[in-house]
C-alpha cells in the first residue's frame, strides 16, 4: 500500500513531506490544456505582431498606440510565461523550486496590475481626446505617453514587491509540502488589493467612458446636423473629430471586452467558488490577451496593413519603417 501511495507522490522518496500529484478528470484536464495552450500560442503570435507594428513603423508612434504597445507587452507576457505556468501548475507537481514559484506569482501580479493600469491610461487618453479636444495635442504627447507607461510598470513592480515581500524574502513559506506552489497573502493585503486592483480602476474606467460616451454622442449629433457649406479648415477639423470618435468607439470595445473578461475572474477568485468556476473565469481572463489584437484587426486598417508588411517580410526592406500605414 505504501508503494502505491508513494507512486502518487511528487517525490516518492519523501513519503512524509511530499505532495500528491495533481488529480483531475482526464477529459476535463485535456480539454482545459488544449484551450489554454491555444490561447497561449495566439496571445504570443498576435501580440508580437502588435509590438513589431507599433515599434517599427514610425507613423504609428502616437500617444494612443504607445499605450496599446504597453498593453500588448503585458498580453504577450501572459501568453509566453503565465499561461504555460498555469498549465504546468494544474497538470504537474512543481519541480522548479520555491524561488521560481515566488517569482512566477510575482510576475503574475505585475502583469495583472499593469494590464489594469494600461486600461485606465487608455480610458484617460480617450477622455482627454473627446472631452478636451483642443488641449489634447499639448496635454497628451508621445513623450508623456511613454512616461505614463514607464510609471505604470514601475508602480506595478513596486506595488507587487510590497505585496510579495514575505514570499520574496522567504520563498516557499506558504508551501505545506514538497512539490507545491501556492500563494497566500494576508487579509489586509487582500482588502488593499481589492480596492487598488479592482474597485478603484473599474469605477474609474466606467466613469471615464460614461463621460466619453455622452460627449461622443453629442459631437456625432452635432456633426450630422451641421450644414454642408463649411470651410476647408472646418472640414479638416470635422475629419479629425470623426477620427477621434472612431478611435473612442474602438477603444471602448477594447475596454468593454476587458471588463467582461476581468470582472468574473476577480469576483470568482474572491468568492472562492468551485474549481470549475475558477477555471472558467481564468480562461475568460486569459482569453482577453488574444482578443485585443483581434479587435485591432477588426477596427484598425493600419494594423492589417502592418501585419501584411510583416508576414510578407517587406519589413526587412530598406526604409520599410517609413512606409505610410494610415492611408
H helical segments located in the chain: 2-7, 26-56, 63-77, 83-91, 97-131, 136-139, 142-163, 165-169, 187-194, 200-225, 232-271, 275-299, 301-311
Residue 157 within any structural domain of the chain: yes
Q: Does position 33 have pLDDT exceeding 60, yes or no?
A: yes
The confidence band for 6, taking pLDDT boundaries of 50, 70 and 90, is very low
Q: What is the pLDDT of residue 97?
A: 85
The confidence band for 223, taking pLDDT boundaries of 50, 70 and 90, is low
Residue 239 within any structural domain of the chain: yes
Q: What is the mean pLDDT of residues 185-204?
A: 87
The confidence band for 317, taking pLDDT boundaries of 50, 70 and 90, is confident
Calpha distance 327→284 (Å, rounded): 35
Short-list 144, 122, 150, 160, CA closest to 257? 122
Encode pLDDT of 77-92 as tens digits: 999 999 999 888 888 8
Residue 115 within any structural domain of the chain: yes
Instruction: Please provide the DSSP assignment of 67-134 as one string.
Output: HHHHHHHHHHHIIIIIHHHHHHHHHS---SHHHHHHHHHHHHHHHHHHHHHHHHHHHHHHHHHHHSTT
Calpha distance 269→109 (Å, rounded): 14
Residue 319, SS3?
A: coil
Q: Which residue has the higher pLDDT, 157 or 17?
A: 157
Calpha distance 238→219 (Å, rounded): 10
Inter-residue contact 75 to 40 (CB < 8 Å): no
Highest mean pLDDT among 17-26, 101-110, 282-291: 101-110
Q: What is the pLDDT of residue 5?
A: 46
Q: Does position 71 have pLDDT exceeding 70, yes or no?
A: yes
Calpha distance 180→22 (Å, rounded): 10
CATH number at residue 76: 1.20.1070.10
- 53 contact partners, CB below 8 Å, separation of at least 6: 60, 302, 303, 306, 307, 310, 325
Residues in the chain: 327
Residue 172 within any structural domain of the chain: yes
Residue 250 within any structural domain of the chain: yes
C-alpha distances out from residue 150 to 120, 247, 248, Å: 14, 23, 23
Residue 265 within any structural domain of the chain: yes
Q: Does position 137 have pLDDT exceeding 70, yes or no?
A: yes
Calpha distance 152→66 (Å, rounded): 12
Q: Does position 227 have pLDDT exceeding 50, yes or no?
A: no
Q: Which residue has the higher pLDDT, 25 or 196?
A: 196
Q: What is the pLDDT of residue 3?
A: 40
Average pLDDT, the chain: 83
Range of the domain at 191: 2-15+24-224+233-322
Q: Does position 237 have pLDDT exceeding 70, yes or no?
A: no
Q: Which residue has the higher pLDDT, 232 or 87?
A: 87
As for how many domains the chain has, the answer is 1
Q: What is the pLDDT of residue 278?
A: 75
Q: What is the pLDDT of residue 300?
A: 86
Q: What is the pLDDT of residue 68?
A: 93
Inter-residue contact 102 to 172 (CB < 8 Å): yes
Q: What is the pLDDT of residue 229?
A: 46
Range scoring the smallest mean pLDDT among 60-74, 157-171, 245-259:
245-259
Residue 327 within any structural domain of the chain: no
Short-list 180, 175, 172, 171, CA closest to 10? 180
Amino acid at each position: 500500500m505504501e508503494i502505491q501511495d508513494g507512486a502518487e507522490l511528487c517525490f516518492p522518496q519523501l513519503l512524509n513531506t511530499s505532495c500528491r500529484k495533481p488529480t483531475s478528470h482526464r477529459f476535463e484536464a485535456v480539454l482545459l490544456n488544449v484551450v489554454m495552450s491555444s490561447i497561449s500560442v495566439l496571445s504570443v503570435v498576435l501580440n508580437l505582431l502588435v509590438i513589431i507594428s507599433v515599434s517599427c513603423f514610425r507613423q504609428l508612434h502616437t500617444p494612443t498606440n504607445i499605450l496599446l504597445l504597453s498593453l500588448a507587452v503585458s498580453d504577450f507576457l501572459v501568453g509566453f510565461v503565465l499561461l504555460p505556468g498555469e498549465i504546468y501548475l494544474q497538470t504537474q507537481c512543481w519541480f522548479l523550486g520555491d524561488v521560481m514559484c515566488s517569482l512566477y506569482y510575482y510576475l503574475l501580479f505585475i502583469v495583472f496590475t499593469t494590464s489594469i493600469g494600461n486600461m485606465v491610461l487608455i480610458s484617460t487618453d480617450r477622455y482627454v481626446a473627446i472631452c478636451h479636444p483642443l488641449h489634447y495635442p499639448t496635454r497628451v504627447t508621445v513623450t508623456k505617453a511613454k512616461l505614463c507607461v514607464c510609471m505604470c510598470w514601475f508602480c506595478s513592480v513596486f506595488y507587487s514587491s510590497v505585496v510579495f515581500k514575505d514570499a520574496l524574502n522567504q520563498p516557499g513559506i506558504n508551501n505545506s509540502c514538497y512539490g507545491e506552489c501556492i500563494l497566500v497573502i494576508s487579509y489586509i493585503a487582500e482588502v488593499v488589493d481589492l480596492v487598488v486592483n479592482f474597485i478603484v480602476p473599474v469605477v474609474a474606467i466606467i466613469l471615464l467612458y460614461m463621460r466619453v460616451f455622452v460627449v461622443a454622442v453629442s459631437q456625432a449629433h452635432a456633426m450630422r446636423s451641421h450644414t454642408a457649406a463649411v470651410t476647408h479648415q472646418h472640414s479638416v477639423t470635422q475629419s479629425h473629430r470623426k477620427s477621434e470618435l472612431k478611435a473612442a468607439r474602438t477603444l471602448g470595445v477594447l475596454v468593454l471586452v476587458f471588463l467582461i473578461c476581468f470582472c468574473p475572474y476577480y469576483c470568482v477568485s474572491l468568492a472562492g467558488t468551485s474549481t470549475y468556476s475558477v477555471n472558467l473565469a481564468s480562461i475568460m481572463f486569459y482569453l482577453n490577451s488574444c482578443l485585443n489584437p483581434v479587435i485591432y484587426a477588426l477596427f484598425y486598417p493600419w494594423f492589417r496593413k502592418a501585419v501584411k508588411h510583416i508576414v510578407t517580410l517587406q519589413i526587412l526592406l530598406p526604409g520599410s519603417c517609413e512606409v505610410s500605414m494610415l492611408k
